[in-house]
Chain A
Amino acid sequence: MRKSGGVVVVCRCEDVTADDIREAIELGIDDFELLRRYLKIGFGPCQGRSCVAIAARIFARATGRKIDEVLSNYRVRPPIVPVSAKYFTRGART
């Protein structure tokens, strides 16, 4: 039975909690991209669609920064959706 004092999940794909983020900030992580690399926020199959905004908001609040400042280095790289490896191993370009 999950009682009070349970976890607050931020990134469901990688199981990152709000406490994980606060601990990382206490450790001295002062950059959102560094935080993402440290905790793998948004590195799972949803690629950040559910969690990046919420993590950025927690990070902005905790560090006293504005959210657009927090996200200023946020980059999106392909593949922007999860893709099965078979698409790249079969059917080579002719």
Chain B
Amino acid sequence: MIGKCSSCFMKVNGVPNAKTCREPVREGLVVERQRGWVPPAAGVEELGSVEFREVETDLLVVGGGPAGLSAALKASECGLDVVVVDEHFKIGGQLLKQTHKFFGSVELFGGMRGFQIAEEYARRIGSSERIRVIPRSAVYGVFRGGLVGVVGENSHYVIKPRAVVGSTGASERYLDFVNNDLPGVIGAGGVQTIMNEYGVKPGDSALVVGSGNVGLIVAYQLLQAGVAVRAVVEILPEIGGWFVHAAKVRRYGVPILTQHTIKAVYGNGKVEEAEVVAVDENFNPIPGSEKKFRVDLVLLAVGLEPDTRLFSQCGAVMKWSPDLGGLVPLRTPDLETSVRNLYVAGDASGIEEATTAIMEGWVAALSAVSKLADKSRASRAEEELEKINKFLWEEYRASPVLARARRGKQSVTVSREEMEKIRAEHPPHVSFG
């Protein structure tokens, strides 16, 4: 339900396997349930015409969330032509479903709510002549000569960019417990899509698994939407998210059970009951400590995993980082990967948050500008980049809340010299520029 998995597949206008979480409502739309994966039968799909287009651009931005949009704007302000490819029909990424207020300076949209930031970005990008957005489209591969294949709305694009910012975001982590495929088990971000973006009440009573900021914020939003939240469970001994968010949930009388995890869900065709269990310090379940809750929703807010398939396919050198949520590309301090002129920004570079994603977008864009633009613009870009990096690493990430992400990002950042050695050892199969 955040556009990454296949769990929302339904038949749309007779065509099976459509991602309904990405399908805008329109006149005459026919949506039908399907059971599992349906092999498309011959003749079912309306083939229609496909237009083939070749596009050249300075910068291709893959993913129009906070990182990608800030990169696109920054690069365009520095004189580059930009193409933004995004899977959704509206740009903004996960900002679209965030109804809470952001902290920070005006430049970083402090005091605004996530969806308002998305609107502001859409406005600025809409008025830029240098940025072209291709909505409802996706990169399906990168090929020799640095050609990028993109499909979207009856068009097949082959884009030749001089540089690429991969701001592909993250997918929600899933958990292994008994009957975890029963309908009603859903990612917290998925619930935010249904509830905050589309205005649909997702259920009547819920159990939230995970007490990080996402779990706590969603628990509060569920309460606001009139959903009874029976409990929030957290496997660690301490609440993961910020005190302000936990306090809001506690004020509603919702218990936050630390050192507990979900054991199973039960029900007839959908979740009717959830069973939680206490765990010891090694996260092993303590027999006899089970508790059951009558709920029809079980929200998984157990973290995100960087969506880095684009980088892997390009042959970028990757590293597994538990602090960052999974496999991420190695990068220089200016966010260039081992594939020359392929930059990484936002959650794809390691799970952090929207504000750092915006700053990483700036850094990636300025890196591209410093290589592609004329001399005076390039040197100005380098200066600005240094300033942003200094603020990002020495001030913003000095916050204890970001300690883990900071540690993770340090562990996957290598010097430019080191990166040259890595490139020589692991030459990527594609290159841009």
A interface residues, Cβ below 8 angstroms from B: 1-10, 12-13, 15, 18, 44-51, 53-54, 58, 67-68, 71, 74-84, 86-94
Contact = CB atoms under 8 A, between A and B. Distances in A.
A75 B309 CA distance: 9
Interface string B167-194: 0000111111111111000000000000
A45 B268 contact: no
A48 B85 CA distance: 21
Given A78-B141, A82-B17, A87 B176 contact: no
Contacts of B284: none
Given A2-B268, A90-B47, A91-B50, 14 more contacts: A2-B182, A6-B264, A7-B178, A8-B177, A9-B180, A12-B181, A15-B36, A44-B37, A45-B17, A50-B174, A54-B173, A71-B320, A78-B141, A90-B49
Query: Range of interface residues on chain B?
Result: 35 or more
Contacts of A75: 312
5 contacts: A47-B309, A49-B309, A53-B173, A54-B174, A79-B140
B303 to A, nearest CB: 10
B326 interface: yes
B267 A1 contact: yes
B139 interface: yes
A-B CB proximity, top 8 nearest = A78-B141, A91-B50, A76-B312, A68-B320, A90-B50, A91-B52, A79-B140, A6-B179
Contacts of B141: 77-80
Contact of B266 (A3, A13, A82, A83): A3
Contacts, number: 131
A4 B178 contact: yes
B151 A12 contact: no
B227 interface: no
B4 interface: yes
Interface string B11-35: 0000001000000000000000000
B334 interface: no
A42 B313 CA distance: 15
B333 to A, nearest CB: 23
B139, B181, B264: most-surrounded residue (chain A CB, <10 A): B181
Contacts of A1: 266-268
Nearest to B305: A53
B189 to A, nearest CB: 12
Interface in B94-153: 138-143, 149, 151
Contacts of B319: 68
Contacts of A5: 178
A25 B49 CA distance: 47
A93 B158 contact: yes
A46 B4 contact: yes
B186 to A, nearest CB: 12
A12 B5 contact: yes
A6 B178 contact: yes
B413 interface: no
Given A4-B178, A6-B178, A91-B51, A50 B5 contact: yes
A9 B181 contact: yes
B309 A58 contact: no
B339 interface: no
Nearest to A78: B141
